[in-house]
Amino acid sequence: MSAQVFVPGDSGAVSVGASEVAGAIALEAERRALAVKIVRNGSRGAYAFEPMVEAATADGRIAYGPVAPADVPGLFDAGFLDGGAHRLRIGVAERIAFLAAQNRLTFARAGVVDPLSIDDYIAHGGFRALARAREIGPARVVEAIKASGLRGRGGAGFPAGIKWETARGAAADRKFIVCNADEGDSGTFADRMILEGDPFALIEAMAIAAAAIGASYGYIYIRSEYPDACRVMNAALAAARAREFLGRDFDLEIRVGAGSYVCGEETAMLESIEGRRGMVRHKPPVPAISGLFGKPTLVHNVVTLASVPAIIERGADYYRALGTASSAGTVPFQLAGNVKRPGLVELPLGATLRELIVGIGEGTASGRPIRAIQIGGPLGAYLPAAQLDLALDYETMQGAGGILGHGGIVVFDDTVDMARMARFAMEFCALESCGKCTPCRIGSVRGVEVIERIIARRDARANLMLLRDLCDTMANGSLCALGGLAPLPVLSAIRHFPEDFALTTREIADLI
Ligand SMILES: Cc1cc2nc3c(=O)[nH]c(=O)nc-3n(C[C@H](O)[C@H](O)[C@H](O)COP(=O)(O)O)c2cc1C
Ligand code: SF4
| Residue 474 CB–ligand 2 contact under 6 Å | no
| Residue 436 CB–ligand 2 contact under 6 Å | yes
The C-alpha atoms of residue 270 and residue 265 are separated, in whole angstroms, by 9
Domain enclosing residue 468, as ranges: 418-511
Q: What is the pLDDT of residues 398-456, one digit of tens each?
A: 999 999 999 999 999 999 999 999 999 999 999 999 999 999 999 999 999 999 999 99
Does 484 lie in the same domain as 431? yes
Cα–chain center distance at 130: 23
Does 275 lie in the same domain as 256? yes
In ligand 1, the atom with minimum distance to the C-alpha of 153 is 27
In-domain check, residue 107 = no
Nearest Cα residue to atom 22 of ligand 1: 300
Q: What pLDDT is stored for residue 510 in this prediction? A: 73
Distance from the CA of 431 to the center of ligand 2, in angstroms? 11
Q: What pLDDT is stored for residue 460 in this prediction? A: 86
Q: What pLDDT is stored for residue 162 in this prediction? A: 98
Q: What pLDDT is stored for residue 503 in this prediction? A: 79
| Residue 435 CB–ligand 2 contact under 6 Å | yes
The C-alpha atoms of residue 9 and residue 4 are separated, in whole angstroms, by 15
The C-alpha atoms of residue 278 and residue 268 are separated, in whole angstroms, by 4
| Residue 441 CB–ligand 2 contact under 6 Å | yes
| Residue 440 CB–ligand 2 contact under 6 Å | yes
Q: What pLDDT is stored for residue 461 in this prediction? A: 86
Mutate to test the pocket of ligand 2, among 482, 485, 488 (most ligand atoms within 8 A of CB): 482
pTM score, whole prediction: 0.97
Q: What pLDDT is stored for residue 507 in this prediction? A: 75
Alpha helices in 89-137 (DSSP H): 97-100, 118-123, 128-136
Q: What pLDDT is stored for residue 265 in this prediction? A: 98
Number of domains comprising the chain = 4
- Ligand number nearest CA of 484 is 2
Contact call for residues 126 and 137 (beta carbons, < 8 A): no
Of 413, 429, 446, which residue is a domain's last?
A: 413
What is the domain-level CATH number for residue 79? 3.40.30.10
Does 75 lie in the same domain as 34? yes
Q: 73: which residues sit within 8 A by CB, 6+ positions away?
A: 28
User: Cβ-count burial of 395 within 10 angstroms (0-12 exposed, 13-18 middle, 19+ buried)?
Assistant: middle
Of 287, 319, 351, which residue is a domain's last?
A: 319
Mutate to test the pocket of ligand 1, among 186, 265, 271, 300 (most ligand atoms within 8 A of CB): 265
Does 307 lie in the same domain as 336? no
Does 160 lie in the same domain as 149? yes
Does 190 lie in the same domain as 213? yes
Q: What pLDDT is stored for residue 502 in this prediction? A: 83
The C-alpha atoms of residue 313 and residue 316 are separated, in whole angstroms, by 9
Of 290, 319, 348, which residue is a domain's last?
A: 319
The residue type found at 227 is P
Three-class SS state of 289? coil
Compute CA distances 370 → 41, 350, 381, 383, 420, whole Å: 33, 21, 16, 11, 17
Does 155 lie in the same domain as 31? no
Does 422 lie in the same domain as 384? no
Mutate to test the pocket of ligand 1, among 106, 158, 178, 180 (most ligand atoms within 8 A of CB): 180
- Ligand number nearest CA of 278 is 2
Distance from the CA of 156 to the center of ligand 1, in angstroms? 7
What is the domain-level CATH number for residue 294? 3.40.50.11540
In-domain check, residue 286 = yes
Q: What pLDDT is stored for residue 1 in this prediction? A: 76
Please give the average pLDDT of every successive group of 10 residues along the chain, which has 512 residues. Answer: 95 98 98 98 98 98 98 98 98 98 98 98 98 98 98 97 98 98 97 98 98 98 98 98 97 96 98 97 97 98 98 98 96 98 98 98 98 98 98 97 98 97 97 96 97 92 93 97 97 94 78 72
| Contact residues of ligand 1, CB 6 A cut-off | 152-156, 158, 180, 182-184, 261-262, 264-266, 299-301, 304, 480-482
Does 94 lie in the same domain as 174? no
